């Protein structure tokens, strides 16, 4: 891992989480110490069992033996075994507790990164959201942030822990017998390095491809569910199913490759362990030692290998996991380099008593020529203005500019002489607006929460709710439902008819007490009778409140007959 990657990882960790890094390092060191205590305990059992003269050769055992008052070596050995068993049990409990500390840190890190990414995306505006696929953004917010915490930071801390264990263990073994250390280093390290070098690049490539395929599968599933009716009518189910199956097969292939590469590490380490034992025996015999004299040496080597081998295996496995997820570092660094745009949460409304003006406005999407060019318009308070024109002439774009969702490249949106050109002014202006589109946003919550959209359930004004339901002609619907206003609407309002969804939009506008109502093709998908009902309801709102400004986009000239004037684009 080069310094540039290390710096990116450090910068991605929020400042408050960086303060938790010393604690994570401490837990890593504690885990290492606990493991070393476990190894020392096992070595103790090995010494008292294999060395017949352990009381003579090991002064500390002799001191304990005499201090406690043992009268039998067998009783002492049983006591040592019992103490070691208890120690190993305590070691397990401590290891689980330390693991929980690390796990909570990783989840907090994931949650913080995910929230930052979410806030960054929502602050970049409608144009950014519309230019990126929904499933890609969702994957970045959820899966990529999770991968960073558990596939980057966690493996690196794991590697640190195991390196400390191996280093300290090798130092202690060198004090006992340097030859064991030389053998361990000569056998295990080259095998690990060769294996890591072989799989490193493969794991990095495999991780990127796995993520690409996972996003593609999410897109296929999302599109299949959203377009189910069209797929069914067109008889396109075999095509969609085959497309999904091909994606699954590709994803299966790369996931299997990753699994095999991770699993192979244990076999490589197993081979190195057997190689080490064979080396100890062969070197010892060649040096003229007897098989009997090799027993203790081989036993200590085996106990050391018992801990060193898993450590090396985990180091290699963690490194492989890091390389598999390394692409996430660049992705998150790029995404989070865009500082969240300044937004305002004020509930104050911009004073609007005279006119809304578009002054020589020009707007173009990045990939094309201006869709709105040198366009000027003045709308007076209380006017009912219709907008029509063939598709692609910028009707919805114009609405998005009027609603301050798009910032024009030239010209300005001006309300009562005030240019709407700052986040705070945009928020204050939008507090005056209610927007009802053909595909009205209906979250899967209750009718009450949909009408009082953006208001916590416990803070809904039920008297105001009752009034707007009556005005939007939803009373019959609500009264016919067993749960009334608490009835859940279903995903995208699937339990409501088209006309009922649009009436929900009207009721939402009334609950907000908006002074400007914007209808973007709000009736184009409705049958003629329902469309007439909705238009009459909108016209009735205008008669009831002469200060209410209404902007209505429609392809149907009859729909716009209630308007004071119609603008042709």
pLDDT tens track for 12-32: 888 888 888 888 878 877 877
Please report the pLDDT score of residue 280 as a whole number. 67
Q: Measured in whole angstroms, how far is the alpha carbon of residue 462 from the centre of its chain?
A: 36
Residue 163 and residue 49 in one domain? yes
User: What is the CA angle 555-560-565, rounded to 5?
Assistant: 115
Give the lowest-confidence range in 79-88, 237-246, 293-302, 541-550.
Answer: 293-302
Residue 92 and residue 165 in one domain? yes
The predicted model gives 167-172 an average pLDDT of 76
Distance between CA atoms of 79 and 61, rounded to whole angstroms? 12
CATH code for position 410:
3.40.50.300
Please report the pLDDT score of residue 411 as a whole number. 92
pLDDT of 307 > 80? The answer is: no
Domain encompassing residue 434 = 355-568
Backbone CA torsion sign across 553, 559, 562, 565: positive
Residue 138 and residue 253 in one domain? yes
Residue 165 and residue 227 in one domain? yes
- Residue that finishes a domain, picked among 290, 307, 336: 336
pLDDT of 415 > 90? The answer is: yes
Most trustworthy range by pLDDT among 94-103, 174-183, 201-210, 292-301:
94-103
Radius of gyration of the chain (CA): 35
User: pLDDT category, 288, cuts 50, 70, 90?
Assistant: low
Please report the pLDDT score of residue 298 as a whole number. 66
pLDDT of 265 > 70? The answer is: no
Phi and psi dihedrals of 147, rounded to 5? -65, -40
- Residue that finishes a domain, picked among 336, 366, 389: 336
User: pLDDT category, 218, cuts 50, 70, 90?
Assistant: confident
Give the lowest-confidence range in 148-157, 241-250, 467-476.
Answer: 241-250
Distance between CA atoms of 59 and 255, rounded to whole angstroms? 55
In a domain, 21, yes or no: yes
Please report the pLDDT score of residue 69 as a whole number. 80
SS3 252: helix
Distance between CA atoms of 104 and 142, rounded to whole angstroms? 17
pLDDT of 395 > 80? The answer is: yes
In a domain, 348, yes or no: no
In a domain, 196, yes or no: yes
Beta strand 355-363 with 372-380 is: antiparallel
Please report the pLDDT score of residue 195 as a whole number. 65
In a domain, 344, yes or no: no
Domains held by the chain: number: 2
The predicted model gives 445-463 an average pLDDT of 87
Most trustworthy range by pLDDT among 136-140, 198-202, 297-301:
136-140
pLDDT of 341 > 70? The answer is: no
Beta-carbon contacts of residue 102 (< 8 Å; ≥ 6 apart): 24, 27, 154, 157
Percent of all residues in the chain with a pLDDT value above 90, rounded to a whole number: 7
Residue 39 and residue 83 in one domain? yes
pLDDT of 137 > 90? The answer is: no
In a domain, 341, yes or no: no
User: pLDDT category, 184, cuts 50, 70, 90?
Assistant: low
Please report the pLDDT score of residue 120 as a whole number. 85
Give the lowest-confidence range in 183-197, 436-450, 459-473.
Answer: 183-197
- Residue that finishes a domain, picked among 285, 308, 336: 336
Most trustworthy range by pLDDT among 130-139, 315-324, 395-404:
395-404
Distance between CA atoms of 142 and 70, rounded to whole angstroms? 61
The predicted model gives 357-383 an average pLDDT of 87
Residue 549 and residue 436 in one domain? yes
Please report the pLDDT score of residue 528 as a whole number. 79
Residue 149 and residue 232 in one domain? yes
Residue 53 and residue 81 in one domain? yes
In a domain, 253, yes or no: yes
Residue 131 and residue 273 in one domain? yes
Rounded (10°) angle between helices 327-336 and 73-123: 40
Give the lowest-confidence range in 2-11, 182-191, 396-405, 526-535.
Answer: 182-191
In a domain, 345, yes or no: no
CATH code for position 178:
1.20.1560.10
In a domain, 151, yes or no: yes
Residue 184 and residue 231 in one domain? yes
Residue 331 and residue 359 in one domain? no
Instruction: Dump pLDDT digits (tens) for 224-247.
Output: 766 666 667 667 777 778 877 887
CA atoms within 13 A on the CB side of 153: 31
Q: Which among 544, 505, 540, 510 has a CA at the least distance from the CA of 525?
A: 505
Residue 321 and residue 385 in one domain? no
The predicted model gives 489-500 an average pLDDT of 78
User: pLDDT category, 357, cuts 50, 70, 90?
Assistant: very high
């Amino acid at each position: 891992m080069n310094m540039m990657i290390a710096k990116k990882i450090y910068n991605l960790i929020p400042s408050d989480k960086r303060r938790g890094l010393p604690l994570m390092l401490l837990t890593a060191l504690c885990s290492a110490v606990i493991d070393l205590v476990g190894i020392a305990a096992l070595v103790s059992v090995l010494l008292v069992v294999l060395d017949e003269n352990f009381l003579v050769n090991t002064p500390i055992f002799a001191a304990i033996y005499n201090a406690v008052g043992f009268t039998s070596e067998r009783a002492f050995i049983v006591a040592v075994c019992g103490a070691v068993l208890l120690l190993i049990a305590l070691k397990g409990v401590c290891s689980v507790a330390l693991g929980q500390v690390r796990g909570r840190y990783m989840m907090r890190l994931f949650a913080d990164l995910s929230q930052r990414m979410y806030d960054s995306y929502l602050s970049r505006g409608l144009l950014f959201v519309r230019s990126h696929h929904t499933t890609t953004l969702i994957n970045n917010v959820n899966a990529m942030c999770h991968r960073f915490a558990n596939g980057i930071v966690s493996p690196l801390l794991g590697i640190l822990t195991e390196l400390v264990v191996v280093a300290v263990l090798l130092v202690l073994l060198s004090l006992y017998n340097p030859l064991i250390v030389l053998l361990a280093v000569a056998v295990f390290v080259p095998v690990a390095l060769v294996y890591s070098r072989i799989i490193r690049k493969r794991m990095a490539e495999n991780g990127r491809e796995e993520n690409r395929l996972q996003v593609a599968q999410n897109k296929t599933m999302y599109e299949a569910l959203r377009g189910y009716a069209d797929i069914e009518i067109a008889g396109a189910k075999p095509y969609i199913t085959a497309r999904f199956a091909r994606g699954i097969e590709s994803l299966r292939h790369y996931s299997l490759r990753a699994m095999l590469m991770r699993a192979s590490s244990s076999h490589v380490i197993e081979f190195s362990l057997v190689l080490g034992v064979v080396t100890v025996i062969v070197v010892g015999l060649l040096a003229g030692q007897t098989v009997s004299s090799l027993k203790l040496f081989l036993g200590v080597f085996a106990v050391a290998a018992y801990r060193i081998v898993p450590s090396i295996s985990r180091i290699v496995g963690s490194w492989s996991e890091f390389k598999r997820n390394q692409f996430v570092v660049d992705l998150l660094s790029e995404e989070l380099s865009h500082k969240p745009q300044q937004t305002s949460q004020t509930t104050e409304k911009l004073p609007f008593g005279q006119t809304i003006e578009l002054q020589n406005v020009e707007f173009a999407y990045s990939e094309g020529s201006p869709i709105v060019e040198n366009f000027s318009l003045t709308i007076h308070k209380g006017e009912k203005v219709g907008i029509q024109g063939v598709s692609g002439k910028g009707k919805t774009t114009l609405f998005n500019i009027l609603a301050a969702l798009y910032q024009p490249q030239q010209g300005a949106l001006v309300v009562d002489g005030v240019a709407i050109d700052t986040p705070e002014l945009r928020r204050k202006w939008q507090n005056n607006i209610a927007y009802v589109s053909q595909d009205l946003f209906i979250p899967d919550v209750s009718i009450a929460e949909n009408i009082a959209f953006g208001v916590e359930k416990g803070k809904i004004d039920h008297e105001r709710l009752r009034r707007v339901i009556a005005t939007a002609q939803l009373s019959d619907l609500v009264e016919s439902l067993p749960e009334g206003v608490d009835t859940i609407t279903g995903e995208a309002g699937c339990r409501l008819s088209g006309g009922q969804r649009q009436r929900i939009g009207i009721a939402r506008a009334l609950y907000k007490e908006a002074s400007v109502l914007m209808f973007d093709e709000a009736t184009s998908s409705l049958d003629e009778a329902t469309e007439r009902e909705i238009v009459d309801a909108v016209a009735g709102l205008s008669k009831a409140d002469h200060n209410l400004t209404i902007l209505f986009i429609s392809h149907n000239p009859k729909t716009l007959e209630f308007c004071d004037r119609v603008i042709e684009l």
